[in-house]
């Protein structure tokens, strides 16, 4: 017995777009196609999808899900690593809540705060983020972090905030091109990716491999994925493809 994409989406509570994405990245490839090119899934695919959705519900990155299901990574070890990451993030949120309370007291004249205390809990654990990327993409990532630290060492907070605004503006313009129906390889999309690469290069110099790796994190990492999906659903995957195209043409 076989089920169509629409039927699988209904029974699993996911979306057809998600299933198409899982197919595109090789995580859940259908058994074949039926009349009119409709994707068809069999029972074994439903069981695999159940495990995919379970691991995603636990917050395991998409790339790690694939490694677990393909036997390349131990499932228990992957879950323990993710649990450690959640513990660390929980600690950050506790500090952030305390910062909010202290700031409220400060605004009501009930306590003093140093400038450094204003930002406690706001910055994610850079060392943990670096470790995650090194584990996923190899030691070459570490050099990029060092380069970025050196280049931005003298930046003021206003410099950093300006960079964030420029990135948010670029994301909105990318979303507008995506909504127009343009393919990731369209000249309008590629022109904006040129801007994106220039923005990245202000921090560190990516080669073809590392730029593609960065593109992959936009889909695989929940923090990046949430940012881009908040701007426009599916923008993370669309931008990844556009960056892969750009890397192939300009960084090969």
Count: domains in the chain: 2
Q: At residue 207, does pLDDT exceed 70?
A: yes
CB-based contacts of 17-21 (< 8 A; 24+ apart in sequence): 17/233, 17/234, 19/49, 21/219, 21/237
CATH number, position 192: 1.10.490.50
Beta sheet of 32-33, edge-to-edge order: 3-4, 39-41, 32-33
CATH number, position 11: 1.10.1660.10
Confidence bin at 238 (pLDDT 50/70/90): very high
Per the domain annotation, does 80 fall within a domain? Answer: no
The rounded Cα 181 to chain-centroid distance in angstroms is 22
Residue 152 and residue 203 in contact, taking contact as beta carbons nearer than 8 Å = yes
Residue 14 and residue 53 in contact, taking contact as beta carbons nearer than 8 Å = yes
What is the H or E stretch that residue 52 is in? helix 43-57
CA distance 89 to 157: 23
Per the domain annotation, does 114 fall within a domain? Answer: no
What is the H or E stretch that residue 222 is in? helix 222-231
pLDDT (0 to 100) of residue 176: 94
Q: Which of 72, 103, 125 is the last residue of a domain?
A: 72
Per the domain annotation, does 191 fall within a domain? Answer: yes
Q: At residue 4, does pLDDT exceed 90?
A: yes
Q: At residue 90, does pLDDT exceed 60?
A: yes
Q: Which of 15, 41, 72 is the last residue of a domain?
A: 72
Residue 118 and residue 99 in contact, taking contact as beta carbons nearer than 8 Å = yes
Q: Which of 37, 72, 107 is the last residue of a domain?
A: 72
CA distance 185 to 25: 18
How deeply is 2 buried, as exposed, middle or buried, from its count of CB atoms within 10 A (0-12, 13-18, 19+)?
A: middle
Per the domain annotation, does 247 fall within a domain? Answer: yes
pLDDT (0 to 100) of residue 66: 84
217: Cα within 13 Å, side-chain hemisphere: 16
Per the domain annotation, does 135 fall within a domain? Answer: no
Q: At residue 7, does pLDDT exceed 90?
A: yes
pLDDT (0 to 100) of residue 18: 85
Residue 222 and residue 59 in contact, taking contact as beta carbons nearer than 8 Å = yes
Per the domain annotation, does 62 fall within a domain? Answer: yes
Per the domain annotation, does 117 fall within a domain? Answer: no
Which domain range does residue 6 map to? Answer: 1-72
Q: At residue 121, does pLDDT exceed 60?
A: no
Nearest to 64 by CA among 75, 49, 54: 75
Per the domain annotation, does 88 fall within a domain? Answer: no
Average pLDDT, the chain: 81
């Amino acid at each position: 017995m076989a089920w169509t994409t629409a039927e699988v989406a209904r029974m699993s509570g996911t979306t057809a777009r998600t299933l198409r994405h899982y197919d595109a990245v090789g995580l859940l490839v259908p058994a074949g196609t039926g009349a009119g090119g409709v994707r068809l899934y069999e029972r074994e695919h439903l069981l695999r999808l159940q495990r995919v959705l379970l691991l995603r519900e636990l917050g395991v990155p998409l790339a790690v899900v694939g490694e677990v299901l393909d036997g390349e990574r131990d499932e228990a070890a992957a879950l323990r690593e993710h649990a450690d990451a959640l513990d660390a993030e929980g600690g950050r949120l506790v500090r952030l809540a305390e910062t909010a309370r202290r700031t409220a007291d400060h605004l009501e004249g009930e306590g003093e705060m140093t400038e450094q205390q204003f930002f406690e809990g706001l910055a994610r654990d850079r060392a943990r983020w670096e470790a995650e990327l090194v584990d996923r993409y190899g030691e070459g990532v570490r050099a990029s972090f060092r380069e970025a630290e050196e280049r931005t060492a003298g930046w003021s907070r206003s410099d950093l905030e300006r960079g964030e605004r420029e990135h948010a503006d670029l994301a909105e313009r990318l979303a507008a091109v995506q909504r127009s129906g343009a393919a990731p390889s369209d000249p309008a999309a590629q022109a904006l990716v040129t801007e994106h690469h220039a923005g990245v290069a202000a921090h560190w110099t990516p080669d073809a491999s590392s730029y593609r790796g960065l593109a992959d994190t936009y889909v695989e990492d929940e923090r990046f994925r949430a940012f881009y999906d908040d701007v426009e659903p599916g923008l993370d995957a669309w931008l990844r493809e556009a960056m892969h195209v750009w890397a192939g043409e300009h960084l090969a």
